[in-house]
Amino acid sequence: MNLSDIKKSKFWMSIGGIVIFVIALYLFFVNPFRLRNIKKTEAIENILARLERYERKGVKLHNAKWIKAEEDKLVTIKEARREYEVFYKERGRHIEKVFTSVNGEEIKDEALWQNMYIQEANTLLDKIKNHNIALSENTLPFKEWKAAIPTWEDIVPEQKRFWIAEELINIILKEEMNVRYLESINFGKEKAPHANAHTELFDIIPFSIKVRMNVEGLLFLINEFLKSKICFEIETINVSGELNRLRSPKGTEKSYQPVHIDNIQSPSMVDVVIEAYVMDFKT
The whole-angstrom separation of Cα 255 and Cα 112 is 43
Strand, helix or coil for residue 283: coil
CB of 280 closer than 8 Å to CB of 203? yes
Band of residue 158 on the pLDDT scale cut at 50, 70, 90 = very high
The widest CA-to-CA distance across the chain, in whole angstroms, is 149
| Residues ≥6 apart with Cβ < 8 Å to 224 | 171, 174, 177
DSSP state of 86: H
The string of pLDDT tens digits covering residues 184-196 is 999 986 544 445 5
- Which residues on neighbouring strands pair with residue 206, listed in sequence order? 277
The string of pLDDT tens digits covering residues 201-247 is 778 899 999 999 998 899 999 999 999 988 899 999 999 875 444 44
The reported pLDDT for the residue numbered 212 is 94
Sign of CA dihedral 184, 189, 190, 193: negative
- Which residues on neighbouring strands pair with residue 277, listed in sequence order? 206, 233
Q: Phi and psi of 78, rounded to 5°?
A: -65, -40
Band of residue 276 on the pLDDT scale cut at 50, 70, 90 = very high
| Residues ≥6 apart with Cβ < 8 Å to 168 | 185, 207, 209
Q: What is the mean pLDDT of residues 66-91?
A: 80
The average confidence (pLDDT) of the chain is 78
The whole-angstrom separation of Cα 233 and Cα 53 is 47
The whole-angstrom separation of Cα 204 and Cα 192 is 10
Q: For the whole model, what pTM was predicted?
A: 0.63
Higher pLDDT, residue 9 or 43: 43
CB of 250 closer than 8 Å to CB of 233? no
| Residues ≥6 apart with Cβ < 8 Å to 254 | 240, 244, 248
